[in-house]
Amino acid sequence: MAAQSHHFGADTPQGARFEFATASRILFGNGRAREAGALVAELGKRVFVVTGASGRHVPTLLTRLAEKGIDAFTFRVPGEPTTDLIREGTREARGAGCDCVIGLGGGSSIDAAKAIAALLANGGDPLDYLEVVGRGMPLVRPATPWMAIPTTAGTGAEVTRNAVLASPEHGVKVSLRSPTMLPRVALVDPELTYSMSQGTTASTGLDALTQLIEPYVSSRANPMTDGLCRDGMMRAARSLRRACEQGDDVTAREDMALASLFGGLALANAGLGAAHGFAGPVGGAFDAPHGALCAAFLPHVMRINVRALQERQPDSPSLCRYREVARILTGSEEADAVDGVRWVERLCGELGVPTLATYGIGPDDFPALVQKASVASSMKANPIALTPAEMVEILERAL
């Protein structure tokens, strides 16, 4: 892509004025999970370990913590975190006198750890701080020191400043959000992702790809996240299929772990778009995994965004960016924006992405979903404001 470098520096939607915040330390590399004990010892002596349903990597971590004389208390997150689960976890962590937290697992475990660490330090209830459905109060105190150790490659939650929580009483997923929620340490070891199933590799990998494409074309794109997005898209394009087909492919797993990390860094600092704008409300109302929903929406959001930009904002920098996305994904210098859409459609087909109908969603649900998506925080950075009719069309195409 070197020949294109002059174009890659082209207009950002809002020029070169931006902020970039992330974890205090990011440690990346095969085998680095072995350093967890020594790293936690710098944070505290009583650690609350938040992990997923399988808990596959927990025994090894507990051994490493015990070697450093650290007392550990485990808390399982069986699915995507809810406000009730965060209340329960915070009570347990406080009762055990924990002075630090570890999130070990996928995005759900890490988001739960993030929220628990924030509430341990700030007190109160999740609804005091949640956006959209809560009071939206600021989290004033820095979160209790915590470390993120992802075991999937998709959400990038280890470097984001928000925790996505389901609020069952409101039927939506919304964020607890503050720069004070960033971890002290993000420990990213691709070896921990080798045991992911093919289905999980596909859905999390497509989530990562979505989180590289949406910040790159977003209205808040900036030069710092641009570089992360371009490199991450290139890695996902060459390695996502291979990681699904050959789970122990070292290079493919490393590429996808980096793509996930870069996507997290990008979305935290440049925002997302309509694919995530829909995925949150749909995931809150239906039992559907986040990554699979992002994948179900991505090609259709791309198609409608490109068409809307061509019709209403043909001079938008985001339209040029969609062409760059296509060139990176296809490897062709001649690709146009629609070629990128087709490439993503083919990939989703090859990886067996379920349609919305799989989760029991039908046309009768569209008005409520459009209304909720239109006020979702992710929708604010979409490169163009979509009309209600365009939003309905995206749902129809994803059905």
pLDDT digits (tens, 9 = 90+) for 365-391: 999 999 999 998 899 999 999 999 999
With a pLDDT cut of 70, the percent of the chain lying above it is: 96
pLDDT of 356 > 60? The answer is: yes
CA–CA separation, 272 and 257 (whole Å): 19
- Residue 72 sits at φ, ψ, to 5 deg, of -125, 140
Position with higher pLDDT, 264 vs 56: 264
What band does 3 get if pLDDT is binned at 50, 70 and 90?
very low
pLDDT digits (tens, 9 = 90+) for 170-181: 877 888 999 999
pLDDT of res. 176: 92
What tokens does 100 get? 């630090």
pLDDT of 11 > 80? The answer is: no
Kind plus residue range of the DSSP H or E element containing 118 = helix 107-122
pLDDT of 247 > 70? The answer is: yes
- Residue 106 sits at φ, ψ, to 5 deg, of -85, -165
Determine the average pLDDT of the residues in 228-233.
Answer: 98
- Residue 178 sits at φ, ψ, to 5 deg, of -170, 140
Half-sphere exposure of 161 (CA within 13 A, CB side): 19
β-bridge partners, 147: 102, 185
pLDDT of 281 > 50? The answer is: yes
Contacts 24+ apart (CB under 8 A), 243-250: 243/153, 243/201, 243/205, 244/198, 244/201, 244/202, 244/205, 244/351, 245/198, 247/194, 247/195, 247/196, 247/198, 247/201, 248/194, 250/30, 250/190
Q: Hey, is 106 helix, strand or coil?
A: coil
Q: Which domains does the chain have, with CATH numbers?
A: 32-188 (3.40.50.1970), 196-398 (1.20.1090.10)
